[in-house]
Structure 1
């Protein structure tokens, strides 16, 4: 859909999320060692992701390669911009459908971390006090924010992993006490793929009067997510991982029933009802008035948390990727990866590596602890294998274009500890 910025902004009550995006169908590709029943789903989708050709790319939990659908959407966007037209896509509505959320509860933010920060500020943290409960498997970037809040006097509790690299219900039960304001967790841990039972966490937190924020960046698009059924209060999700989008563009989910309890965490023109036709008293022919500018605020999730237009290029690319993901179906994507994840778990354990991903994990991450993991790079680069290597762990994350042959190549290349 194309329109001018002026006409778009003049549409009373219409947000960016109301504009329609492009659609995209499924693509099929052939590959050696296909998984049973996957061909009818268009998996493995190597032809859709030409950037992985000639590589054993097992690093999608870091940054997912773009598909041709996203590239085509960006080409269309570029052509329209060259012609002097803006292109808006309903990425927020598509994301809401993916995670079973009401579209009016979803808006845009620049990143997952910014979404989490805005949630804390909307709650008046840290100055309003109370307790925040998080855990050792939450996003490490969030640790910085909560550490700063701790220095400002906020009671911040970080639950450690147990000996099996999990966050247990018992530890949550112990930490979430009366006076807890917020429980902040990652649905799927970027470190080892541990996956929280969101409904269980929300039920416990709500019973103690606390709200729940969830980082969805390692789960949305990778495993089924149901925000309505789980009772999550706030969630944020960047798009450059399993949503196959780009940096600088993310979604924020807020249960609109909570708005009366929140404050606007920042102020921007897009929070007003009359930005396109403001009541001004500063220019020639303006009527006189007591102030230079008169506005009314939107009492919506976007009216609280959005301040300006989002990045429209990444919006269009992400909308196309969401269409492609939905054409395959997240349950099918989740099921497709399970044999590869099982082979990684068993293969690494048999070789003697210290696997820190719980065996029951369905999320597309398998991690093993390894001192100075960068020492493994020469083994892998010789076989053109790409994974995440951190100071003391290595993380493998297969996606829709990977095959069992890729897993075989990785296991052969990694050798033994």
Structure 2
């Protein structure tokens, strides 16, 4: 006897939505066997019902609100993108007791609390594995596999566009603008790449990871953010000479203030990473996340962080979990926010730094520059001078220092007569000295 079908509404038929529908249709028997009941697509919401979409026309609708409200829809899959419209639709679904699977990191980074409250109130499931790193399972391990452990740090490469650009710059020596244009031609960069290259996408993902790892609500606005648009080929060449490469990192970690208060840090920026660090070898459009937990130690998750099929894989994994819960009467994990830790300001964060500046090539320059670091207790690890004359370039690498002290130092360097221009300020991650 066939069990009653579980009705699914799909909101969006772009790269991810198309793959979700295709895989769900082609593997219908397998999904039924895994769940215990068949999944049936009740409708697919699109902007315009026209053209050949590769799906039965009768499934298409341009009224997503009506589709979400239908009595025969049990689970809503949201892959629209954007915030305002998806927020209304997802809230409506959750308030009606329908489970929701979303890949929308921007939505979650702003409204996780509101959505989680709605899900808890109506006893509905809210799953979002695909929102952080495509096909890479990171959310579920943090929420379930490591639920009995204490996570201290989550760090990784969570944006494929920026990783492709930095990898290509490193390999070819091309500049940022040239490599960005090539990424666009190859389909790795959007027509407007701002969300990726300026770190907004990674910041949304960092907010989600920090919220889960540290049992605290963190929004995208809490995440310190810098992008990669100011990275130069000279920076990458210097990084090589230091046995490093440059990656855009999302870093979420527990810290303890000088007064002994526990805080969390959530930040996104390009950083020098030692070549012997596991994240240094993650190239192209791939993503990787390293989790450090007290009992489990260091865990690394690596794979395709974006793309239609990889992201659909994560969406469908969530769909199977939600459907099983519908069939057997269970529930997925609820939001855990008991810790309520405060987010530390960036100025309190201790890291190492790389400072590149164009200087006048004359006696006493190094001593003058070093004095500005010393005044603010920023200890210098190494100094390198490249070139001579008007093109002299001084590169300073520091030991651990507070971000506020480094910012003050850079501001003072800009005022020195011997410093023509501070070209780059980057952090070093993966070292502790």
Structure index of larger Rg: 2
Q: Same fold (TM over 0.5)?
A: no
TM-score by length of 1: 0.28
Q: Which protein, 1 or 2, shows the higher relative CO under an 8 Å CA cutoff with sep ≥ 6?
A: 1
